[in-house]
Amino acid sequence: MTFTLAIVIAGIVMVALNAYVLLAGADFGGGVWDFFARGDRQQAQRDLISHALAPIWEANHVWLILVIVLLFTCFPAAFSTIAIMLHIPLTLMLLGIVLRGSAFIFRSYGSEHDAAQQRWGRVFAIASIVTPVLLGMCVGAVATGAIGGTALSPSGSFASQFIRPWLTPFGVGVGLLALALFSFLAAVYLTVESEGTELQEDFRTRALWAAGAVFVIAFGVLALSWTEAPMVREMLMAGPWALPLHIVTGIAAVTAIVALWTRRFRLARVAAAAQVTFILWGWAAAQYPYLLPPTLTIQSAAAPDRTLVLILWALAAGACILLPSLYYLFRVFKLQRRS
Amino acid sequence: MRDILAARSQMGMSLAFHIIFAVVGIGMPALMVIAEYRWRRTGDAGYLELAKRWARGTAILFAVGAVSGTVLSFELGLLWPEFMKQAGPVIGMPFSLEGFAFFTEAIFLGVYLYGWDRISPRAHVIAGIMVAASGALSGIFVVIANAWMNTPRGFTLVDGKFTNVDPIAAMMTPAAFPQTLHMTLAAYAATGFAVAGIHAMMLLRNPRNAFHRRALSVALLVGAPAALIQPLAGDVEARYVARQQPAKLAAMEGLFQTMRGAPLSVGGLPDESARRTRYAIEIPHGLSLLAFHELDAEVKGLDAFPRDQWPPVAIVHLAFDVMVGLGTFMALVSAAVLLMLWRRREIISLRWLMIAIVACAPMGFLCIEAGWMVTEIGRQPWIIYGILRTADAVTPMPGLIVPFLTFTALYCFLGIIVVLLLYQQVLRSPREDETFPQQAEPA
């Protein structure tokens, strides 16, 4: 593998997507646990989730915008194909994003615990469940090769061109996997956020259940990939890096579960984030060198070099502002918690 | 409804909705940080209350702006995939920079809103300044991308393909400076006067209310200077349009015949089939003077362009007149405000001026909506002026009326909720028994 400019930038897009999944993914997961808030401490659970999300969710959300902007600037051919073929699930996902964000802020700033606030809480929770599934379905559709491989023609039916490519059992499987992963991340993070309170046990139980769900769904998706995403499955089973990848993912998953079991929550947080990261990069590696298999490679979709060079400079300059600012944000709200 | 019309309607509606929140995201942080600064300097708790309320308002509006902005970044591709495929590498640069500016804004808004008792006073004010500055910057970057659509540069067109792409040249287009200047001033003028107008209304009912008095003074401090110099920025912009987009200028002015010493048509109804503008008040030589600063300069009319390259004339002309009319009124009110302050008169005691300020409350936003209609509809039938037609850029996906109606319904609904919440959280006068809250965090 030679590191051309396009591949370096594709790597950066993956890093941004990775950050989105680990940070904003957990925010969606928070909404899932808001939906499943149960028992005597249900209000306390919701308050903790809301408190954990409030200062950071908007910054976390911007990672998605960065991914989109990099995609249309650096890989315009891929972006336009995705935008055409996945118009419907992306539009539905946007509705979810709008409703989730608005409902969260409406709930936070509504008057105290009244009926309207509860309704907004419901909207927030349901949108938090639906949006990750749609995001996962879009990823799944790309992995099957249906997005890169379907040629539009005026004679083709609407369903065969704009619905069937993404509405597949495999796509739904990946959507559910995304939902399970996000819920898992959120529950694990919340065990750390709830340190010293009885809520910690609530989220520990939830994290363990979510880990189980991830395990079951992941195997289901793998089974479905046999027929539906053969190229990706082949690479995942037989690629040169396949075995090491499965080993590190497995180690991370087991570590996360053992750490949760033995109540070492900070270790569990690191392990859970690592597990999700490995799964994401496993998908990227399985698709390499394709951006949209089976036709569009990273190289063939790339913008002219001059654009890529300038974007690299812009990213470097942007990172100099972004990374210290992000560090500051998380230091103020996440590290100084107990002070 | 044809798909192209549905796509244009959805884009227009999304922009019209988002621009309000984007503008507030530029203007409100400035108000809130000035109020906090005054509180820190004077210890006057009324300013603290203002800063906190405005911060709450900013939080609500910023959240809706962030998600509606996300919708737009997707819609560029969902509705205009061919445009993004061609233009992405050319104008991705300002969008990327905007991404970072927006990131900075989101991060420091989080710090500002939830950090009242977590960071030092100085750090808190700096966080507020960061929000205000990055908000303005992200607006500027987006407008630079739009300027490119009006005056595309930084590429060579070979067989309909963009080659020799130069993203830096694409940022330095003739439209970039006039458009960003005009829009940034508009953001401060609109937000400042919207806030000033609302509090002026409260003061007309209850002139002694110290809370609304402070609010009015900060809001006018931001809004009045911006509105006063806006006509100059408008002149800079009009002269660039005259040179770079003569068809747009002709539509703005309802000018069908090319002529020397062209008159300025105020009002009136352009009739495209009869090729004349009826019922307008004509100011002799006015247009030549404004567009080229010469009494007898030649101004191109629509007759200089093939019929299929005309923008819709009537709507562009009327939107332009609305913008100029309301903008002029705001500039005059600003001049009166500054004159009265200079003469050390108390504005609150001048009922006529207070009523005029109330009247200005919606005008800035109406101007912005009208101004963007002029820019965007006036560029038609092009999505990239002179290069790519809007009709050739639209997605092949059929049934676009469905997402258009869905987003319209959603945005109408969100708009109503936002207005209700703002009333509850920001505008309602503090009750007598209400102490100034120490916690900025919502429950």
User: What ipTM was estimated for this complex?
Assistant: 0.92
**Does residue A326 belong to the interface with chain B, where contact is any CB pair within 8 Å?**
yes
**pLDDT tens across B274-322, in order?**
888 889 899 999 999 999 999 999 999 999 999 999 999 999 999 999 9
Neighbours of B356 (CB within 10 A): 18
Pairing verdict, β B281-283 and B276-278 = unpaired
Please say whether the dihedral angle defined by the alpha carbons of residues A138, A144, A148 and A153, taken in this order, is positive or negative.
negative
Task: State residue A337's pLDDT score.
Answer: 54
Mean of pLDDT values over A24-34: 93
The tokens of B332 are what? 């005059």
- Give the A window 135-164 contacts with B, CB below 8 Å: 152, 158, 162
B434, pLDDT greater than 90: no
The secondary structure of A107-161, three-state, reads HHHCCCCCHHHHHHHHHHHHHHHHHHHHHHHHHHHHHHCHHHHCCCCCCCCHHHH
Flag if B89 and A74 touch (Cβ within 8 Å): yes
Residue written as token pair 């110290």: B210
d(CA B23, CA B29): 11
**pLDDT tens across B93-106, in order?**
999 999 999 999 99
Give DSSP secondary structure letters for B191-206: HHHHHHHHHHHHHHH-
DSSP state of A1: -
**Does residue A301 belong to the interface with chain B, where contact is any CB pair within 8 Å?**
no
| Residue in B66, B87, B100 closest to A318 by CB | B100
Tell which residue, A243, A244, A275, has the closest CA to residue A259.
A275
d(CA B5, CA A171): 32
The tokens of B214 are what? 């402070």
Residue type, B111: V
Q: Collect all residues of chain A within an 8 Å Cβ-Cβ radius of residue B165.
A: 303-304, 306-307
Distance of CA A213 to the CA centre of its chain: 16
**Does residue A313 belong to the interface with chain B, where contact is any CB pair within 8 Å?**
no
Flag if B119 and A90 touch (Cβ within 8 Å): no
**pLDDT tens across B216-270, in order?**
999 999 999 999 999 999 999 999 999 999 999 999 999 999 999 999 999 889 9
B163 strand-pairing partners: B156
Q: DSSP strand E in B68-219: where? A: 156-158, 161-163
CB B15 within 8 A of CB B72: yes
Q: Collect all residues of chain B within an 8 Å Cβ-Cβ radius of residue A81.
A: 81
Flag if A69 and B92 touch (Cβ within 8 Å): yes
Query: Best mutation site among A158, A309, A310 for testing chain B: the one with the most B CBs within 10 Å?
Result: A310
Name the average pLDDT for chain A.
90
Flag if B399 and A112 touch (Cβ within 8 Å): no
Task: Give me the residue spans of the domains in chain A.
Answer: 5-335
Q: Measured over all CA atoms, what is the biggest interatomic distance in chain B, rounded to whole angstroms?
A: 72
B326, pLDDT greater than 90: yes
**Does residue A14 belong to the interface with chain B, where contact is any CB pair within 8 Å?**
no
| Residue in A64, A70, A332 closest to B118 by CB | A332
Neighbours of B412 (CB within 10 A): 11
The tokens of A59 are what? 């910054």
Tell which residue, B144, B171, B147, B83, has the closest CA to residue A310.
B171
Neighbours of A241 (CB within 10 A): 14
Flag if B102 and A333 touch (Cβ within 8 Å): no
d(CA B333, CA A185): 55
Name the average pLDDT for chain B.
91
| Residue in B103, B118, B403 closest to A91 by CB | B403
d(CA B199, CA B426): 11
DSSP state of B349: G
Flag if A101 and B410 touch (Cβ within 8 Å): no
Tell which residue, A167, A145, A297, A138, has the closest CA to residue A232.
A145
**pLDDT band with cut points at 50, 70 and 90 for residue A339:** very low
**pLDDT band with cut points at 50, 70 and 90 for residue B427:** low
Label residue B162 left, alpha or beta by phi (over 0 means left) and psi (-120 to 50 means alpha).
beta
Distances (CA, A) of A161 to A27, A152, B396, B404: 33, 7, 11, 20
Flag if B406 and A95 touch (Cβ within 8 Å): yes
